[in-house]
Copies of this chain bind each other. A is one copy, B any other.
Amino acid sequence: MTDDALTTRISPAALEAFIARAFETVAIPPSDARSIAELMVRADVQGSEGHGLFRLPQYIRRIKGGAVNVKPRIRVERESAGMALVDGDNGMGHLVMRFATARAIEKAKQAGIAWVGVKWSNHAGPASLYAGMPAEHGMIGLYLAVGNANHLPAWGGIDMLLSTNPIAVAVPAGEEPAIVLDMATTVAAYGKVKTKAQRGETMPEGWMMDRQGKPLTDPSRANEGFLLPIGGYKGYGLALIFGLLAGTLNGAAMGRDVVDFNADDTTPTNTGHSIVAIDVEAFQPLAEFRKSVDALIRDLRGSQRLPGVSEIRLPGDGSRAAREDRLRNGIPLPPALAASLAQLAAELKIQPLG
């Protein structure tokens, strides 16, 4: 994100070790701490800065506040041939989702497809982390979640009853890289608004609206308004439907029950997710499918372009470019984040980063 002169770079391995150390101080078992750290670093490596390391102080604060169970018994509560419902026992979302996704992949090998719902989970990082896992097994992954803070009202309303409920879908290709869509149902994610505020920049019209229905472009006034959905009432409909599928269906929080995990350090969120694994081989030979996806990707990339457009991008291109950069050059650590992590290390009495 911020590649200014004061931003240093840190290696993924050093970052992972630091995150694991931090979680161990709050009584998370070492192997779990390492799993969470590995997934959080993956978020930063793919450029999802708002969902990786950045969240560490908040995660630790909420664990200390008693909002998260550090020794959860994650288990399958209900199961049929094509589905399972996982109770995360209020564990860290990364652990719960890793468990649920593994179950979805395993079941899809038998049933052709598996839909695994999750309740009593927590924030689990970027949606594409989990959608991408089935793709490594020649499967399509589809992930939905209820966001952990309501910033979106019903279309025409001003009570914030919905979150930016995201969808991620990863589709394996052959010689081309996988197609990986990962998007919020709002025009901008709330994290982007916070970044604008930190930098003292204004937001474009269309990101937010105030309670009188007027465009809100000053990010320091974000709490006086709300996010806008993509495509107006269509994005409202998608946020609602994804919330029903990831939250209500699973017995997880949705609507007024959603806890703002930015503002609250003590209340369990009962976060809901759904992960679907679709085994391509059940529909057609995987090699044929890979060829078809490759051909489609090449057609799209080879399109004639609008004046001023230098390349046609596919969903997932941005995170792949970030991954290549980060694995070579390290993960950018902007000064504000570095300072907050130094403070965290001092508080937890652990070896600081770097």
Contacts and interface: CB of A to CB of B under 8 A. Distances in A.
Contacts of A211: 306
A15 interface: no
Q: How many copies of the shown chain assemble into the complex?
A: 2
A152 to B, nearest CB: 11
B305 A251 contact: no
B83 A81 contact: no
State which size class the interface on A falls in. 35 or more
A10 interface: no
Contacts of A213: 306-308
A137 to B, nearest CB: 15
A300 B233 CA distance: 13
A183 B234 contact: yes
A191 interface: no
A120 to B, nearest CB: 13
Interface stretch (A46-54, A66-74, A193-201, A310-318): A310-318
22 contacts: A79-B112, A81-B111, A82-B82, A82-B108, A83-B111, A153-B303, A154-B312, A156-B309, A156-B313, A157-B305, A157-B312, A161-B299, A181-B237, A181-B241, A212-B306, A213-B306, A230-B231, A233-B313, A245-B278, A248-B292, A249-B283, A255-B299
Interface of A: 78-83, 85, 107-108, 110-115, 117, 140, 153-159, 161, 167, 169, 171, 179, 181, 183, 187, 211-213, 230-231, 233-235, 237-238, 240-241, 244-245, 248-251, 254-256, 278-280, 282-284, 289, 292-293, 295-296, 299-301, 303-309, 311-315
